[in-house]
Amino acid sequence: MREQERLHRAAEKGSARPARSSRGGGCSAAMAVKDPTAVERANLLNMAKLSIKGLIESALSFGRTLDSDYPPLQQFFVVMEHCLKHGLKVRKSFLSYNKTIWGPLELVEKLYPEAEEISASVRDLPGLKTPLGRARAWLRLALMQKKMADYLRCLIIQRDLLSEFYEYHALMMEEEGAVIVGLLVGLNVIDANLCVKGEDLDSQVGVIDFSMYLKNDDDVGSKERNVQISAILDQKNYVEELNRQLNSTVSSLHARVDSLEKSNTKLIEELAIAKNNIIKLQEENHQLRSENALILMKTQHHLEATKVDVEAELQTYKHSRQGLDEMYNEARRQLREESQLRQDIENELMVQVSMKHEIELAMKLLEKDIHEKQDTLIGLRQQLDEVKAINMEMYQKLQVSEDAMKEKNEIIGRLEDKTNQITATMKQLEQRLQQAEKAQMEAENEDEKFKQECKNKSESLQKEISQKEKQLIQLETDLKIEKEWRQALEDDFQKEKKTVSHLRIETQQITSLKKEFLELQDKNQQLKKLCQDQEAALQELAYKLSEAKLKIEDIKEANKALQGQVWLKDKEATHCKLCETEFSLSKRKDLDEDMHQKIASEMNLSETAFIRKLHTKDDFTKSSCFGLRWFTPTNEVPLCGHATLAAAAVLFNIQKNMNSSLTFVTLSGELKARQEKDHIVLDLPLYSAYPQEFQEVEELVKTAVGDMVVQDLCYSPDTKKLLVRLSDTYERSVLEKLKVNAQDLVPAEKTGKVKGLILTLKGSLSEKHKNYDFYSRYFAPWNGVLEDPVTGSAHTVLGSYWSQHLGKTEMLACQCSQRGGEMKISLQSDGRVDIAGQVVIVLTGNLTF
């Protein structure tokens, strides 16, 4: 009880100090109340008083030993965490901006040597990954040692060191921090038994439960207690906002770390595959060099053997006399055989050259497939250049051998000339006939040996051809495997993209659901109060609803009468089909269908509107109902909001129409326009859009947006418009800078059901001037309109779509064309939509026929 009395005295002293400072004057007291940091410090001090007081009272009543599951003890740690975070400076880290209390707590071990044991044990804990978790573990260990007040007192004394971590107005830098340290002395009477290893201190949410502090029957009538409760509720909202910001930063950091780890593993796998391909190519290059060297050696040996044969034949010609004719025939025969051999060698060389070309083609294909990933292939290209140089040397040597064969042919020609001279000396060579016969036998033996060598060479060449065919088959299989691997990687990459986009959408939906849940909780109490008033008004509404149903049935009958109507030619339209009154042909010019289309083509605008009188007595200044048609440069369209807005502006501003509201009879039924201040409001039908399969219109979407991420895809069958919603991660500038070749959209659309393309994007809250709910662009090359600057008919679909996704009936839209435009959209309960916009008339004139 003595410890409790000392606690109350310290609390009274802490609360009395700001009271004395407020007595200095009325002006200073008013400024202190208005300072938000002073209010925050006072709220934190009050929360610390309540938590410490409640903890001590509950511990003394139930026993002094407390466990980690004890609720007042958990609330105490949450309050201390918020007190230490107040006024903490933001430090810039590698990934983002960091704000943690672990930095000032690490100073304690330098100022107080006994705290080194706590800091070392906190760092050695295996389950802690964040600085905030280490700080929470440090506070629990300090409480168990009963030295939390001593440790924090060391920090408060050294305020020059704390200035590195806290702002000048922080709680730890002011007198409130000293008061809290004095209150912590009372916790020395408590024995805490906490298990730090088993708790998940990194991901705990620091939300204060005020229910245990608000239910006290003794303090119900006190005014001071009510003031404390209001201060605590204000601080609760502040703490919850801080928790939301911390959770968002932690989730973003985890996502970045996961993406970096995945990209690192992919790069390692690609490097390993690239190294294996390089080793294979080097081995094939060495084999080609060895084969070329063998071919050169064989050709050289063959040339040397032919030279020896020619020299022996020349010697026999010199020593022979009677067998010159036979030797001449043999020489001819040998020449033919040599020419045949030369032809065979040339054929073999051609085969080798063709094989070389095939190998070069295979190498080029491999280079094209791997060039984007491997810079080391530059060395392989240099090696290929060396192989080409060796082949050129072989080709030059072949040319030299051909030149030698030509020289031999010239020598044979000379020998034929000499045979005429040798016939005169035939008589002198009769004695050497026996020697010539012996030489002939030796020549035949040499011919047989030469034939055997040729056979062996042909067999070896066939073996080499079979080996090269096997190598080609291996190369083809390797290419197929690599292509399949690349396709699998691309498929995995596309799947990961889709999962990332889905996860982003889910996170955004979760955050929006949290906000909606908080708003619904506040609205729930308000709705309970309004229920009694609404029950009294239900009887009056029932009578009004019955009258509204009768009016709706009348409107539906009128719309049914208008549905299925087709514009007649001007010559055939003589009476109104609704009221059966006769049209006036004397007060208007008779324009046929071709003239309408020719005028629209000559104007060459997105849409040209034609206003016409419905009755003889109609006047553009006094009447309120007119006929209206719209034509693009190529055809007539059933609805156009932009041209309807222009028609209403001409009647209101140029013709000075006296009515506040105008009605236009069109192919889409009756459309109404009215003036509201500087805007004209159009009453248009509202069209729904339904989900569309991506595969059916994949080519059209990729032609329009390329590789951009598409979040949603819908189709409106009533207007034949395709709605493409881009990812919410894109900003307005991305949609504005997107270059769409509208002429390529027509051949890309294969279904035949799309006549207009809408690109839309969700608005953001970071705009400088206005916060638009959504942005859009509209393309209709099927109707001769490459891009419409502002499109009302497109917003009859966009209004329905974004109302469902945003939960709004009042929206502000912006069409981001080169000219651009702003529209106010309001959905009505009768299934229609009001679109308001401003109009500027820039040109007036007359047409002469």
Question: Among all residues, which ones are annotated catalytic?
Answer: 607
Q: Strand, coil or helix: what is 187?
A: helix
Chain centroid offset of residue 166 CA: 39
The Cα 633–Cα 629 span in angstroms is 13
Q: Strand, coil or helix: what is 629?
A: strand
Buried b (16+ CB within 10 A) or exposed e, 549-566: eeeeeeeeeeeeeeeeee
Q: If we measure between CA atoms, which residue out of 468, 507, 482, 842 comes closest to residue 649?
A: 842
Q: Which residues pair with 780 in a beta bridge?
A: 785
Q: How far apart are the first and last CA of the chain?
A: 108
Phi, psi dihedral angles at 469 (to 5 degrees):
-65, -40
The Cα 542–Cα 548 span in angstroms is 10
The Cα 497–Cα 709 span in angstroms is 9
User: Residue 636 corresponds to which tokens in the numbers above?
Assistant: 């007539």
The Cα 657–Cα 642 span in angstroms is 19
Yes or no: say if 135 and 119 are a contact pair by the CB < 8 Å rule: no
Secondary structure letter of residue 582 according to DSSP: B
Helices (H), 716-791: 732-737, 745-748
Secondary structure letter of residue 738 according to DSSP: -
User: Residue 546 corresponds to which tokens in the numbers above?
Assistant: 């019955």
The Cα 79–Cα 66 span in angstroms is 17
User: Residue 253 corresponds to which tokens in the numbers above?
Assistant: 């950091």
Yes or no: say if 835 and 683 are a contact pair by the CB < 8 Å rule: no
Long-range contacts of 222-226, Cβ-Cβ distance < 8 Å, separation of 24 or more: none
User: Residue 129 corresponds to which tokens in the numbers above?
Assistant: 């990954």
Yes or no: say if 200 and 136 are a contact pair by the CB < 8 Å rule: no
Q: Strand, coil or helix: what is 35?
A: coil
Q: Which residues pair with 682 in a beta bridge?
A: 673, 835
Q: Crossing angle for the helix pair 71-85 and 36-62, nearest 10 degrees?
A: 160
Q: Which residues contact 544 (CB under 8 A, 6 or more apart)?
A: none
User: Residue 161 corresponds to which tokens in the numbers above?
Assistant: 């060191």
Q: What is the 3-state secondary structure (H, E, C) of 626-658?
A: EEEEEECCCCEECCCHHHHHHHHHHHHHHCCCC
Q: How many helices (H) and strands (E) does the chain have?
A: 22, 19
Helix %, strand %, coil % of the chain (to 5): 65, 10, 25
Q: If we measure between CA atoms, which residue out of 68, 74, 11 comes closest to residue 208?
A: 74
Q: Do the bridges between strand 191-193 and strand 65-67 make them parallel or antiparallel, or are there none, so unpaired? A: parallel
* Cα dihedral value 641, 645, 648, 654, nearest 10: -150
**Count of all residues that appear for the chain in the document:** 849
Element (H, E) at 673: strand 669-676
CA distances (Å), origin 474, targets 121, 468, 469, 817? 61, 10, 9, 56
The Cα 826–Cα 795 span in angstroms is 11
Yes or no: say if 780 and 756 are a contact pair by the CB < 8 Å rule: yes
Q: If we measure between CA atoms, which residue out of 165, 193, 189, 188 comes closest to residue 177?
A: 165
